[in-house]
Amino acid sequence: MERYLLALDQGTTSSRCILFNRQGEAVSKVQREFSQIFPREGWVEHDATEIWASQMGVALEAMLLKGIGADEIAAIGITNQRETTVVWEKETGKPICNAIVWQCRRTAELCEELKRQGLEETVRARTGLLIDPYFSATKLRWILDHVEGAQERAEKGELLFGTVDSWLIYQLTGGRVHATDPSNAARTMLFNIHTMQWDEELLRIFRIPACMLPRVLPSSGIFGYTDPALFGKSIPIAGVAGDQQAALFGQCGFASGDAKNTYGTGGFLLMNTGDRPITPKQGLLSTVGWQIGERTSYVLEGSVFVCGAVIQWLRDGLGLLKHASDSEKMALRVKDNGGVYLVPAFVGLGAPYWDPYARGSLHGLTRGTGKDHVVRAALESMAYQTADVLLAMQEETGLPLRSLCVDGGASQNGFLLQFQADLLGIPLLRPACVETTAFGAASLAGLAVGVYESLDELRAIRRIDREFCPTMSAQERTKLYDGWKDAVRRSLS
């Protein structure tokens, strides 16, 4: 009997389920969007019950569509939007309020206050993170402060906290298991990535009762079994990782120095730093990649705020193109950028510049500049920003970069990937299976239940769709990159 791995890919805008066979091929895929709730400017919420219902719905549908029964599923892997904060009643399993989504900025002031108290160094040293509303701790504090009686009930042990993975595990196991994995715990700003435990000092600072926190279990291992009422039979939940970490795992980024970049709306770069966390500078984050058995793999993470979104802007804001994919042939219609640089600092600049006051700008315009140059400059900006983050990572780790694995919507753009390879001077690898995040969760689960015996077996089934090799001269590369640096300088402050 064929044994499948069922991946639950719980994203920010949709819940997806993908069934993989042993060869890592997606045999069934179902996706459902759910409501985005914007109660005020800058606030973002999800209904955790709707997340659960949509996730369960797509799982059943993916199985039914291919006639795959619960007895053919070896294990479930979960990957999820990170940092999003859910609080629910232990007794009933019902959330006490909407989940506060990672994007929500409602705790910006609280974060400013924590920085004024000089806590940045404490947080960085223990969690590898910067103080920012992004992470769960201040969201949880907000819920305990604003939902009536919540702090008191939490202290009495009546309420549980979790990121979305914990929430799904709790529901899937019929309330029997309250657990998370270190890659998700590391995004709460409450978890000590050195001791690999909830940090007592941070719990004290944030006044979070320890009894509401999930148990932290290795990313690959049995978390629990699904309630038999759900699928007709219990299935082990055997792999859990946050979405970006799961993508690096799904790309076989197992070794120190391995890196992946996701070219989505934003850009997410992760580099494996091996078995030690690096204390980051330059606005990079140090976080847990995954834990297998006793062994923890750490990663450095850097993000580009506006990546594929710059193409959306050209399409929807300026009307320069009809489909995002048109950008490739437009960029190739001109022989070079014609001296044009676009710095898409629409919301400031992230690592390694960290300038919230930077704004987008277009440089080097002449009478000869056409829209193809602007489109090309936009695609190139995605590569320059990625290079900026990667070079900062390399500087911090001293690890040589051998190649870069890529995924995300814009990784379908061949011009972009060739330019990126040229700029970095290393090969780029685009996998045949674009579902790297879901496959990462599935393979963590598969390793735990013996569908896969080793990491080498995962390497062996990996298929590369295309490799992009650098062809640009070092001189040309330096000239172009200097031009970008100059354009960035003019966009700061």
Residues near ligand ADP (CB under 6 A): 264-265, 308-309, 311-312, 324-325, 327-328, 408-410, 412-413
Q: How many helices (H) and strands (E) does the chain have?
A: 17, 23
Q: How far is the CB of 336 from ligand ADP (least distance, A)?
A: 19
Q: How far is the CB of 346 from ligand ADP (least distance, A)?
A: 12
Enter the tokens of residue 118: 């000089």
Contact present, 142 and 100 (Cβ < 8 Å):
yes
Residue with smaller CB distance to ligand ADP, 58 or 208: 58
SS3 178: coil
Give the Cα separation of 457 and 478 in Å (integer).
40
Q: How far is the CB of 395 from ligand ADP (least distance, A)?
A: 27
Q: How far is the CB of 241 from ligand ADP (least distance, A)?
A: 17
Residue 177 phi, psi dihedral angles, 5° rounding: -125, 130
Give the Cα separation of 220 and 441 in Å (integer).
9
Enter the tokens of residue 197: 């435990």
Q: How far is the CB of 389 from ligand ADP (least distance, A)?
A: 16
Residues in the chain: 493
217, amino acid identity: L
Q: How far is the CB of 170 from ligand ADP (least distance, A)?
A: 26
Residue with smaller CB distance to ligand ADP, 171 or 436: 436
Give the Cα separation of 388 and 392 in Å (integer).
6
Residue with smaller CB distance to ligand ADP, 101 or 159: 101
Give the Cα separation of 75 and 66 in Å (integer).
17
Q: Give me the residue whose beta carbon is nearest to ligand ADP.
A: 409
Residue with smaller CB distance to ligand ADP, 173 or 437: 437
Residue with smaller CB distance to ligand ADP, 15 or 291: 15
Q: Quick one: CA dihedral 96, 102, 105, 107, positive or negative?
A: positive
Q: How far is the CB of 468 from ligand ADP (least distance, A)?
A: 14
Those residues with Cβ within 8 angstroms of residue 492's Cβ, 6 or more apart along the chain or in another chain: 349, 353, 355, 357, 358
Residue with smaller CB distance to ligand ADP, 379 or 426: 379
The residue among 8, 5, 7, 11 whose CA lies nearest residue 262 is 11
Residue with smaller CB distance to ligand ADP, 210 or 318: 318
